[in-house]
Amino acid sequence: MTPRAHEVKVRDVVAETGDAVTVSFDIPEDLAPRFRYQPGQFLTVRVPSDRTGSVARCYSLSSSPHCEDRLAVTVKRTAGGYGSNWICDNLESGDLIGVLEPAGVFTPRSLDEDLLLFAAGSGVTPIMSIAKSVLAAGTGDVVVVYANRDADAVIFGNEFDRLTQRFPQRLTVRHWLENERGLPTVAGLVELARDHRDHDVFLCGPTGFTAVTLAALGQLGIPEQRVHREQYRSLTDNPFEHTAPAATPTPTGAGKDTATVRVEIDGETHMLNWPRDTKLLDMLLDHGIDAPYVCRESACGTCVCSVKSGRTRMLMNESLIDDELAAGLTLACQTLPESDQLHIAFDQ
């Protein structure tokens, strides 16, 4: 099991709607530094399974590091799904459960910027964390466009009402209920977003909602590259069931065409040979270096790192936007070397 996995105690489980619960955790004091997080990040939960030992499922933190001392995720049942139903049916206060440390890049750069947040269904969890954080600790204005099947399906309805009363000048929440208005439309979303096109955009919801929102933003002249997106999906990989990295480096790259890379991670510096056909994350794990990762498919952003010098290329990228790429960020699980000498830092 990766050293980034820990067993933590469930503090409580609270029903939000008929099919969603918020699970909060007690983090022991010695682990508190490892569980610091930014609004919009997620935890990966180890869900026990008789069939496979466990499955790993990601859940965005719905709590805010700026106004709550607890960490909490909010899980909505997926029809026929294994992990979400197991959590909703089984987890109780006092249970111990395996989780990976917080991760992800779906986070605002500054809490002082104005934000336009789009959520549908359980996609509201990181949106709630971001909204609460900006209101409590920043100066930005927040506009939330939130789509649901009907009023009963709205998660955090009361909390949004309370926040709107407390911050009437800074928070606007626009609900879109499908039983009243049908599925969200491009024209309808354009209308709701029209006055906020200069805001930074965060979007989290199912594929159909994402597509219609991107089309609306496109009509408003907001390019996809400016839109931060979180895509919910179940992991195929399981970081909880992998064996710990080897203690001594294996001779990865011996006799192969390699680049030379200096890697800074967890306060240590490693000089390594990096085979040109091997992804950065795989090369580090081969050397017994405990690099952070969850999905290995470029979707979750956990393995994000900075290219300080040298050129690299990514095979796939589903989580970094243009600004982040321009700032030199890359995803270790998809990165190959181009230059002969490189310098990479896990400093995000």
Ligand X SMILES: Cc1cc2nc3c(=O)[nH]c(=O)nc-3n(C[C@H](O)[C@H](O)[C@H](O)COP(=O)(O)OP(=O)(O)OC[C@H]3O[C@@H](n4cnc5c(N)ncnc54)[C@H](O)[C@@H]3O)c2cc1C
Closest CA to 130 of 108, 163, 149: 108
Q: How far is the CB of 325 from ligand X (least distance, A)?
A: 19
196 versus 229: smaller Cβ distance to ligand X:
229
236 versus 309: smaller Cβ distance to ligand X:
236
101 versus 141: smaller Cβ distance to ligand X:
101
Q: How far is the CB of 184 from ligand X (least distance, A)?
A: 19
Is 237 in contact with 296 (CB distance < 8 Å)? yes
Q: How far is the CB of 82 from ligand X (least distance, A)?
A: 3
Count CA atoms within 13 Å of residue 209 on its CB side.
Answer: 27
CB neighbour list of residue 26: distance below 8 Å, 6 or more residues apart? 8, 9, 10, 11, 70
Q: How far is the CB of 139 from ligand X (least distance, A)?
A: 27
Q: How far is the CB of 43 from ligand X (least distance, A)?
A: 9
∠208-200-57 over CA atoms, to 5°?
50
What is the DSSP pairing of strand 268-275 with strand 258-265?
A: antiparallel
192: part of which helix (H) or strand (E)? Answer: helix 186-193
Q: How is 43-91 classified by DSSP, letter by letter? A: EEEEEEETTTEEEEEEEEB-S-TTT-SSEEEEEEPPTT-SHHHHHHHH-
Q: How far is the CB of 76 from ligand X (least distance, A)?
A: 4
83 versus 140: smaller Cβ distance to ligand X:
83
Is 123 in contact with 209 (CB distance < 8 Å)? yes
82 versus 167: smaller Cβ distance to ligand X:
82
Using CB atoms, what's the residue nearest to ligand X? Answer: 81
Is 281 in contact with 291 (CB distance < 8 Å)? yes
Report the interface residues with ligand X, using CB under 6 A: 42, 49, 51-52, 55, 57-60, 73-76, 78, 81-85, 104, 122, 125, 230, 232-234, 300
36 versus 233: smaller Cβ distance to ligand X:
233
57 versus 132: smaller Cβ distance to ligand X:
57
Instruction: Name the β-bridge partners of 53.
Output: 49
Count CA atoms within 13 Å of residue 255 on its CB side.
Answer: 1
152 versus 340: smaller Cβ distance to ligand X:
152
Closest CA to 22 of 68, 90, 80, 72: 72
Q: How far is the CB of 64 from ligand X (least distance, A)?
A: 14
Q: How far is the CB of 122 from ligand X (least distance, A)?
A: 4
Closest CA to 204 of 279, 121, 261: 121
